[in-house]
Amino acid sequence: MSMLHPPRFALQSSEGNHLCLKADTGAVIELFVLEEDIIRVLVLPEGKLQGPASWAVAPGAEDVPLQGRDRRDLSGFALPSFALRTTPGQLQIETALIRLSIALEGGFCQWELRQEGQWQSVLADRPTQAYNFGYWDEQVYHYLRRQPEEMYFGLGERAGDMNRAGQSYEMRNIDAMGYSARNTDPLYKHIPFYITWLPKTGAGFGLFYDTLSDCRFDMGRELDNYHGHYRYFTAPHGDLDYYFIASPGTPLAATRRFTWLTGRPAWMPKWGLGYSGSTMSYTDAPDAQVQMGQFIAKCREHDILCDSFHLSSGYTSIGPKRYVFHWNTEKFPDPHGFVRSYLDASIHLCANIKPCLLRDHPQFEQARQAGLLICDSQGEPAWVQFWDEVGAYLDFTNPATLDWWRANVKQALLDYGVSATWNDNNEFEVWTGDAYAHGFGQQYPVRQAKVLQTMLMMQASRQAQLEAAPQRRPFLVSRSGGAGMQRYVQTWSGDNYTSWETLRYNLKMGLGLALSGVSNIGHDIGGFSGPAPAPELLVRWVAFGVFMPRFSIHSWNDDKTVNEPWMYPEVTAQIAALIKLRYRFIPYLYELLWQSTQDYQPVLRPTFAEFPHDRRCLDECDDMMLGSAMLVAPVVEQGQTERRVYLPSGARWVSYWSGERYEGGQEISLPAPWDQPVMLLREGAVIPMNVAQQQFDVRADERAFLVVPYKEQGEASGACVEDDGHSQAWRDGEQGRWQVRARSDAAAVTLEVGREDRLPVAAETIDIFLPASEQRPVRATQARIVSEQRSQGWRRLTLALST
């Protein structure tokens, strides 16, 4: 096809919310009006789909069908009415929020958003060769105009600054051990979604490219004189199939909608929020079971609260190599007794599993003969490099493999009492074109959809847990993944390198994941690869990590040291105190994960996402919001004893440690001792806490609330979900909520505490903490204030609740 004569389209059909434009060349553009704020565009240069079904799109659902979702399936969408206008040269679609104009000559799209009653142009295809209609090769391309003021956020787990403008990124899941959190690309995850933000107008939108192919995003790094300023997406396989998601007023609207689009985040057990121990050293040791027992003894000795342990792959070893589903009974003479000892200490084991069988694996021949492996065109295993040996990946697009995997997860792990699976080394690094997947009966080259194998591995591991214990919520962890992985797993940022720079940029990496729909996240505290962290770096990393949904200290240090809470006696007390601070706020984290599951709210947020009209918040910084109520400012530079932090305008802020109130819109300096991370609470916040005194062997839960009333007039409000923390009974209504309000006026603060539905534990009293700077009289409705104490900048009021 000549570039001089791009295809000219005409409206071929309009059936409900699905429109089809066709050119005389055979090229097709399909349009799907899915929601008032979501329109999908599917460009097919040959007039037919090249790629497989979708395993990412699951609007509001907990899962997708095993064999994927048909690309033209419209179930789950509202399918609103819309205006359709046609002229000789243009077709226009208009919903309540989006106006899409398509030039029939070439199919170029221009997008507008309704902002405060006015239409505002926010995006346009590049006017020169926006799509590849056979001009160059068989790859997929999408070129867009780029405006100088545009900012880009998301793309999942990426190194570097939050704003992706001027950079180029490759999505090609890879085992990037020891990566630079500032520079390394690609990394572990494949989430082709990003948000464009226009700071001058306060408008934005999300773009999601539904592809399973490796792909690349250039956000303005490339420059070509013949085409003006542009950005682009390209992929070697599949189709150009993208979703435009309106996000007027706040970037969070696009995040919430994209999370909904790709599936409901899993509601995991509460113990997954506790400290999780881990290191490769214990299970690599010849006396691994003894080493693992010493971990429990050390936690007890130093009063380190702990809820789980990530069992590294050394438990599967034969010699120096790893063999999934094999127990090394020389290292672990009594696997059943070992697992029981951990459960007796209320510590859940999360066992490492890998999707590749080494060629001398005890079950390799069985799997080979059963056709469970990815093979070449001759039917021989498609050999890959894996853990100092060659092996072959299991093929999760084969139903027989899924059956085999679920059976082994149950027999080798869950039947022993292991609580969860850690899906690791699951990037599926298959580079050759001569490697084929079963494809549920439609064979295809594996490299065209590697991330699909990763997603199906997670799905199968989760299904094994559900089959083994239908009444328990599954808990899974995965290092790699794609769009929709939040339906199955908690994740982390992989095998990071120990440095202050990593600490700073892991924070940004986590925020990028949260904006991309994946909120249950964390990092390897202290760094996984490299030298041992110095005491100061370890403590500062813990002080940051206690605010992440996933909190695990994990390492494979080059100098053979082990990152442990007690590795430096001079700071063990501070680390123990920080872990107890973490447990104090687990009710808040649990509530935020509930909001993620129910309302698709990100748990972590950059400050600009909560305060999009404060231009200062768009500057690169090292701060983050935990939910909408707490501003956290970790120390990420060596030798700092104070932390300068900008307080977003439009709110007042209260220091957690002093109770002092500050006006927003200013930069302040706060003391930052090692065991007191800088935390500020937003005016109007109500934050649940656990104020019970806890020890390693004595766990308790006593609910209380931090309340920051408005200084003049207004209502502070917040809630807290309560259930048994581990079962599926919440689906049957076995769950309750606290609702707390504080109405302020010039004369007084009036507290109201409500209990809804079924609280698992009856409570006769509740403690409310108000800033000490709050001097107004306090009243309570439907409750009676029975005592008041003042300490550390807070007023602690105990309320007797009405029955």
Reduced to 3 states (helix: H, G, I; strand: E, B; else coil), residue 433 is: coil
Mark the ranges of the chain whose per-residue pLDDT is less than 50: none
Measured from the Cβ of residue 410, the count of other Cβ atoms closer than 10 Å reads: 17
pLDDT at position 477 is 98
What is the sign, positive or negative, of the torsion defined by CA atoms of 459, 463, 464, 466? positive
Q: What is the domain partition of the chain in residue ranges?
A: 9-48+79-262, 270-492, 604-682, 686-801
CATH number of this structure's domain 270-492, picked from the four choices 3.30.360.10, 3.20.20.80, 2.40.40.20, 2.60.40.180? 3.20.20.80
Return d(Cα 660, Cα 650) in angstroms, integer. 18
- For the record, the structure tokens of 788 come out as 């008041």
- For the record, the structure tokens of 82 come out as 């819309």
pLDDT at position 792 is 83
pLDDT tens, position by position, 41-76: 999 999 999 999 999 999 999 999 999 999 999 999
Residue 771: beta bridge partners? 794
Cβ proximity of 799 and 785 under 8 Å: yes
pLDDT at position 2 is 57
What is the CATH code of the structural domain delimited by 604-682?
2.60.40.1180
pLDDT tens, position by position, 738-771: 999 999 999 999 999 999 989 888 889 999 999 9
- Domain at 686-801: CATH architecture: Sandwich (2.60)
pTM of the model as a whole: 0.98
Q: Do domains 270-492 and 604-682 have the same CATH topology?
A: no
Backbone φ and ψ for 456, nearest 5 degrees, come out as: -70, -30
Backbone φ and ψ for 462, nearest 5 degrees, come out as: -65, -45
What is the sign, positive or negative, of the torsion defined by CA atoms of 427, 432, 435, 441? positive
Measured from the Cβ of residue 620, the count of other Cβ atoms closer than 10 Å reads: 10
Tell me: cis bond preceding 269? Omega within 30 of 0 counts: no
pLDDT at position 5 is 75
pLDDT at position 418 is 98
**Burial (0-12, 13-18, 19+ Cβ within 10 Å), 552:** buried
Q: Could you give the angle at the alpha carbon of 401 between the alpha carbons of 400 and 407, nearest 5°?
A: 95
pLDDT at position 197 is 98
Reduced to 3 states (helix: H, G, I; strand: E, B; else coil), residue 134 is: coil
**Burial (0-12, 13-18, 19+ Cβ within 10 Å), 2:** exposed
Reference 400, options 446, 456, 317; nearest CA is 456
Spell out a b/e string for 426-452, using b for 16 or more CB atoms within 10 Å of the CB, else e: bbbbbeeeebbbbbeeeebbbbbbbbb
**Burial (0-12, 13-18, 19+ Cβ within 10 Å), 208:** buried
Return d(Cα 7, Cα 104) in angstroms, integer. 8
Superfamily of domain 9-48+79-262 in CATH is glycosyl hydrolase (family 31) (2.60.40.1760)
DSSP state, residue 617? G
